[in-house]
């Protein structure tokens, strides 16, 4: 909606995509310039906004924005560029993709994207339309395991019901490796959770650190990488003490007796030893969750970034199931989508390519339709060795040099590509090594339908101002590239494409702009859908057995353990005691922050001011032993390399753990590297340590390291 307020002044309602969230906002424009941004009080998020959204104005007017398509004229990384037209740029990218497909086959093309910003469906559609199975996403260690394990266990994604639309709010909320209050990631919003928290009776926080809400929680200080044991231990207590939901288990789950047998291997005293969580807390948490219902569990990405991601999530979903916390109001819900239907259909309607993605033979759950994705580390190794299929890569909004394990190895792979094109707002360290860089428009400069995760709403992102230079929105770039390569799947223009996506709701893009949000809330949401024909005629869940599969028939079919289990992290005091002697601290990389999102926003001064340098949290006792004071620069070292971060003394965790921040580079430092080798946690991580066998997840959150002060001059 656009209101004409007075001459030169306009107000536009749109949707923020500074993170995954999708808060509705009102933007004021005066004489063509954005003067103000504010939360829309009528929005689903009550007119609130976060630091990142509020700082968006500075993204539009940031002089470091890429303005024009550019083509490399020097060596890769030399920083010598020539401005080219969009026509030339798109023709070149399309030509390289086409040639690669003709010369080497469709699998020689990798299409990459980073964290979702609501254009995931375009990325998937583009890859499918071009015919390549090799989608280059961080999904195998971020959200992908949730997608897969919810899918095979329950038939669809489950979200926490913080809304009370079914007449009940959660009595017990568990946040498991999650800081939703500051991240708003993966389909849930801090505002909803914080409101529900006021109404909850119990809040359980499972996290190695006492994060922001720890003082209000029953805090389980779990050892990084041992969450599966904790979940299995909780189930041991719940099942053995007869606290499980008998009705739901008997009528709606499959494999209970076998799960019961499995959890006998995880008595609470053994689990306490493994997880470092005191036994009485395990007992309390288990009993509370089982008896104070409804309950919900918010799962965080850190559970997916390890060598046992699949079984960890499987265990937690089983915990939801045996307590009957699925589809009842206030528990875990699969949302009924808005009238548009799931926006992912826009991707799925293009048939999947015949060839399987790289890594499909090993990581069979990752390769399972409908969201089959390639195993990135295997793909990159194939590029480095020359033995893999990928020769050409297009990246739309991702910074692999910063965000994937072992940055050195990532760079080696990128340099070996025959062609690399990158679309971004800024010259990230990855963009600096590209052959062609395409300038992307900010959400304040974009028209699109915002759908970050299939949940109960979609909302209109309405362009507020023209992008600087010749920057184009992601959807336009995809459409124009798509038209050159697979015109039968793409559209004359973006508006046509948007109209097409809205057709099931019976509205056009113009109409949607005025409507703003299409949501199914309140009485439009349906609970206990498994008792209706919603998924299966005659009732049931969308699984092979029509039940919630505690014993997963699909895992069995794929050749994996159908029941969850615990496995020690690759590097730990127990699995690698020799390594532990030299690297005596447990390292987690990637604790989240409210003012950054992965590698984004280091060049936004309102946000950078809040924390200009990366921080590593060290327990005061540990720091004292190492001669480290609060604020000292320290080296963090693993067998892969070392980085510098600033020490923050933090008493809220076990002294044997340190938590470094992830995704740091310094845009103010000269290109091409922009300080990516200084403080980036992926100098420390490994692309070779064993991956999760089903999803191929990489280990970011449970490694071993040593820490020591930075000496003068270093």
Binding site for another protein (CB under 8 A): 35-39, 41, 45, 47-51, 54-55, 57-58, 61-64, 181-182, 190-191, 194-195, 201-204, 210, 212-219, 278, 284, 287-288, 291, 594-595, 602-610, 612, 650-652, 666-668
- Structural contact between residues 640 and 630, judged by C-beta atoms closer than 8 angstroms: no
Q: What span, in angstroms and rounded, lies between the C-alpha atoms of 521 and 166?
A: 10
Q: Among residues 35 and 493, whose Cβ is nearest to another protein?
A: 35
Backbone dihedral angles phi then psi of residue 557, each to the nearest 5 degrees: -60, -40
Nearer to another protein, 89 or 204 (CB): 204
126 CB contacts (<8 Å, ≥6 apart)?
Answer: 111, 478, 481, 482
Tokens 């104005």 belong to 57
- Min CB(269)–another protein separation in Å: 18
**What tokens appear for 711 in the block?**
């000496």
Q: How far apart are CA 34 and CA 27, in angstroms?
A: 7
**CB nearer another protein, residue 467 or residue 667:** 667
The SS3 call for residue 135 is: strand
Task: Please give the radius of gyration of the chain, using alpha carbons only, rounded to the nearest integer.
Answer: 25
Nearer to another protein, 174 or 366 (CB): 174
What sign does the CA torsion over 605, 607, 609, 614 have? Answer: negative
Least distance in angstroms from the C-beta of 593 to another protein: 9
CB of 191 to another protein, least distance (A): 5
Which of 291, 499 has the CB closer to another protein? 291
State the minimum distance, in angstroms, from the CB of residue 221 to another protein. Answer: 9
Report the residue number, 291 or 575, with the smaller CB distance to another protein: 291
Find where tokens 């009924």 sit: 336
Provide, rounded to whole angstroms, the least separation between the CB of residue 289 and another protein.
11
Q: 326: helix, coil or strand?
A: strand
Instruction: Kindly state the smallest distance separating residue 616's Cβ from another protein, in Å.
Output: 16
- Least CB distance to another protein at residue 108 (A): 36
Q: Phi/psi at 585 (nearest 5 deg)?
A: -125, 145
Q: Which is nearer to another protein, 97 or 217 (CB)?
A: 217
Residue placing its CB nearer to another protein in the complex, 1 or 651: 651
Shortest distance (Å) from residue 608 CB to another protein:
5
Residue from 482, 331, 315, 459 nearest 396 by CA: 482
CB of 234 to another protein, least distance (A): 14
The SS3 assignment for 467 reads coil
Measured in residues, the chain has a length of 714
Identify the DSSP state of 539.
S
The residue among 159 and 664 lying less far from another protein, judged by its C-beta, is: 664
Whether the CB-CB separation of 19 and 180 falls below 8 Å is answered with no
- Per DSSP bridges, beta strands 633-638 and 703-709 are antiparallel
Long-range CB pairs of 490-493 (<8 Å, 24+ gap) are 490/129
Closer Cβ to another protein, 129 or 211, answer by number:
211
CB of 673 to another protein, least distance (A): 14
Least Å distance, CB 613 to another protein, is: 8
CB of 291 or CB of 521, closer to another protein = 291
Q: How many CB atoms lie within 10 A of CB 365?
A: 26
For another protein, the closer of residues 199 and 504 by Cβ is 199
- 218-220 and 202-206: which strand pairing? parallel
CA torsion sign for 144, 282, 252, 297 is negative
Compute the CA torsion angle 90, 493, 513, 156 (nearest 10 deg).
-70
Buried b (16+ CB within 10 A) or exposed e, 451-473: bbbbbbbbbbbbbbbebbebbbb
Instruction: Give the CA angle between residues 550, 538, 145 to the nearest 5°.
Output: 35
186 or 435: whose CB is closer to another protein?
Answer: 186
What token pair was written down for 491? Answer: 């559209």
In the complex with another protein, the residue whose CB is nearer, 399 or 421, is 399
Q: Are 45 and 191 in contact (CB under 8 A)?
A: yes
Minimum CB distance to another protein, residue 19 (Å): 12
Cβ 93 to another protein shortest distance, Å: 27
If the CB atoms of residues 575 and 611 are measured against another protein, the closer one turns out to be 611
| Minimum CB distance to another protein, residue 59 (Å) | 9
Q: Please list, in sequence order, all residues whose beta carbon lies within 8 angstroms of the beta carbon of residue 610, skipping any fewer than 6 positions away.
A: 51, 595
Q: Shortest Cβ distance from residue 448 to another protein (Å)?
A: 23
**Could you tell me if 598 and 663 are in contact, meaning their C-beta atoms sit under 8 angstroms apart?**
yes
Cα 341 from Cα 333, distance rounded (Å): 17
Q: What's the per-residue H, E or C state across 488-522?
A: HHCCCCHHHHHHHHHHHHCCCHHHHHHHCEEECCH
State the DSSP code for 180: H
């Amino acid at each position: 909606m656009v209101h004409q307020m007075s001459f030169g002044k306009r107000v536009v309602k749109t949707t923020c995509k500074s993170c995954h969230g999708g808060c509705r906002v009102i933007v004021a424009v005066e004489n063509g310039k954005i003067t103000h941004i504010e939360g829309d009080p009528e929005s689903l998020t009550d007119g609130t906004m976060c630091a990142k959204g509020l700082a968006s104005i500075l993204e539009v007017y940031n002089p470091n924005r890429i303005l024009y398509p550019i083509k490399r004229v020097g060596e890769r990384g030399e920083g010598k560029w020539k401005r080219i037209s969009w026509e030339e740029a798109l023709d070149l990218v399309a030509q390289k993709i086409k040639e690669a497909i003709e010369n080497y086959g469709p699998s020689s093309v990798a299409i990459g994207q980073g964290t979702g910003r609501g254009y995931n469906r375009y990325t998937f559609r583009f890859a499918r339309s071009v015919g390549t199975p090799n989608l280059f996403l961080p999904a195998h260690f971020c959200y992908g395991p949730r997608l897969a394990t919810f899918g095979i266990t329950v038939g669809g994604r489950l979200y926490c019901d913080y809304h009370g639309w079914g007449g009940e709010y959660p009595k017990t909320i568990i946040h498991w490796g999650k800081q939703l209050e500051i991240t708003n990631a993966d389909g849930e919003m801090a505002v909803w959770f914080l409101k529900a928290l006021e109404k909850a009776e119990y809040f359980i926080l499972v996290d190695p650190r006492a994060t922001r809400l720890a003082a209000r929680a029953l805090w389980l200080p779990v050892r990084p990488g041992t969450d599966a044991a904790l979940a299995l231990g909780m189930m041991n207590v719940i099942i053995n003490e007869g606290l499980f939901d008998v009705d739901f288990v008997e009528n709606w789950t499959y494999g209970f007796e076998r799960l019961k047998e499995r959890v006998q291997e995880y008595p609470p005293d053994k689990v306490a030893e493994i997880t470092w969580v005191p036994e009485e807390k395990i007992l309390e948490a288990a009993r509370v969750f089982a008896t104070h219902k409804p309950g919900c569990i918010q799962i965080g990405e850190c559970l997916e970034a390890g060598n046992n991601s699949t079984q960890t999530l499987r265990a937690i979903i089983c915990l939801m199931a045996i307590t009957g916390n699925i589809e009842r109001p206030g528990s875990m819900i699969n949302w009924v989508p808005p009238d548009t239907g799931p926006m992912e259909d826009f991707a799925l309607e293009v048939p999947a390519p015949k060839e399987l993605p790289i890594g499909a033979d090993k990581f069979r759950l990752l390769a399972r339709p409908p969201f089959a994705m390639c195993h990135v580390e295997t793909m990159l190794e194939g590029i480095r060795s020359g033995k893999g299929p990928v020769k050409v890569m297009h990246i739309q909004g991702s910074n692999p040099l910063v965000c994937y394990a072992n940055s050195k190895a990532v760079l080696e792979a990128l340099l070996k590509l025959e062609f690399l094109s990158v679309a971004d707002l800024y010259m990230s360290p990855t963009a600096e090594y590209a052959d062609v860089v395409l300038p992307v428009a900010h959400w304040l400069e974009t028209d699109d339908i915002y759908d970050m995760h299939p949940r109960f709403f979609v909302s209109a992102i309405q362009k507020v101002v023209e992008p600087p230079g010749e920057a184009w929105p992601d959807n336009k770039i995809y459409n124009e590239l798509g038209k050159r390569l697979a015109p039968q799947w793409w559209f004359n223009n973006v508006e046509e494409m948007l109209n097409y996506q809205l057709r099931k709701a019976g509205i056009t893009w113009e109409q949607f702009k005025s409507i703003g949000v299409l949501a199914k809330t309140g009485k439009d949401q349906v609970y206990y859908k498994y008792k209706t024909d919603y998924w299966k005629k005659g009732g049931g869940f969308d699984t092979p057995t029509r039940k919630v599969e505690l014993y997963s028939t699909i895992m069995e079919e794929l050749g994996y353990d159908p029941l969850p289990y615990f496995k020690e992290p690759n590097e730990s005091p127990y699995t690698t005691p020799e390594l532990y002697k030299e690297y005596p601290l447990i390292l987690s990389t990637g604790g989240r922050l409210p003012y950054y999102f992965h590698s984004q926003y280091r060049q936004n001064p309102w946000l950078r001011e809040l924390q200009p340098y990366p921080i590593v949290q060290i327990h005061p006792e540990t720091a004292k032993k190492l001669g480290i004071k609060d604020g000292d620069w320290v080296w963090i070292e693993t067998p892969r390399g070392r980085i510098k971060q600033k020490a923050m003394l933090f008493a809220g965790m076990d002294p044997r753990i340190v938590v470094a921040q992830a995704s740091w580079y310094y845009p103010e430092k000269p290109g091409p590297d922009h300080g990516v080798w200084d403080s980036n946690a992926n100098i420390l991580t490994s692309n070779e340590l064993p991956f999760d066998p089903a999803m191929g997840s990489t280990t970011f959150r449970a490694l071993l390291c040593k820490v020591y002060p930075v000496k003068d001059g270093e």
